[in-house]
Amino acid sequence: MAEPHDLTALEQAAAIARGEVSSVELVEHYLRRVAALGDTVGAFVTVTPELAHAAARAADAAPVQGRGPLHGVPTAIKDLTLTAGVRTTFGSAAFADFVPPVDADVVRFIKAAGLVSLGKTTTSELGCSLYSEGRVAPPARNPWQLAYTAGGSSGGAAAAVAAGLVPVAQGSDGGGSLRIPASLCGLIGYKPSRGLVSGGPLGSGAFGLPTSGPLGRTVADVAALLDVMAVPVPGEPYLPPPAPPGGYLAAARRAEPGRLRIGRFTTPMLADEPVHPDCVAAVDTAAALLTALGHEVVEVPPPLTPAAWPLFEIIWYVLALAPVPAHREPELLPLTRLLRARGAEVSAGALSATLGELQAQVRRGAARTAGCDLLLCPTLAAPQAPVGWFTADGDPAADFDRQRRFSPYSAIFNVTGDPSVSLPLATTTTDGLPVGVLLSARYGDDARLIATAAQLEHASDGWDRHPAIWRAVDSANVNDDGVGRSPS
Interatomic CA distance for residues 256 and 472, integer angstroms: 37
Q: Which of 23, 153, 212, 422 is catalytic?
A: 153
Which is nearest to 19 in space by CA: 51, 58, 55, 64? 64
How far from 350 is each of 14, 345, 364, CA to CA, in Å?
A: 53, 10, 21
| Active-site annotation holds for 129 | no
Which is nearest to 170 in space by CA: 129, 201, 146, 198? 198
**CB of 373 within 8 A of CB of 448?**
yes
Maximum distance among all Cα pairs of the chain, rounded to whole angstroms: 66
Interatomic CA distance for residues 478 and 330, integer angstroms: 35
Q: Which of 78, 111, 120, 191 is catalytic?
A: 78
Burial of 179 (0-12, 13-18, 19+ CB in 10 A): buried
Interatomic CA distance for residues 89 and 123, integer angstroms: 9
Interatomic CA distance for residues 153 and 136, integer angstroms: 14
Count other C-beta atoms under 10 Å from residue 131's C-beta.
29
Q: What are phi and psi of 230, to 5 degrees?
A: -85, 65
Q: What are phi and psi of 268, to 5 degrees?
A: -60, 150
**CB of 195 within 8 A of CB of 238?**
yes
List the beta bridge partners of residue 299: 264
Interatomic CA distance for residues 275 and 381, integer angstroms: 5
Return the beta strands (E) in 141-300 as ranges.
141-142, 145-149, 168-173, 188-191, 211-216, 261-264, 296-299
| Active-site annotation holds for 120 | no
- Asked whether the CA dihedral 379, 384, 388, 391 is positive or negative, the reply is negative
Q: How far apart are the first and last CA of the chain?
A: 23
CA-angle at 387, arms to 129 and 206, nearest 5°: 10
CA-angle at 402, arms to 468 and 334, nearest 5°: 95
The separation between CA 212 and the C-alpha centre of its own chain, rounded to angstroms, equals 8
Q: Which of 132, 172, 177, 204 is catalytic?
A: 177
| Active-site annotation holds for 198 | no
What is the bridge-based pairing of β-strands 374-378 and 261-264?
A: parallel
Catalytic residues: 78, 153, 177
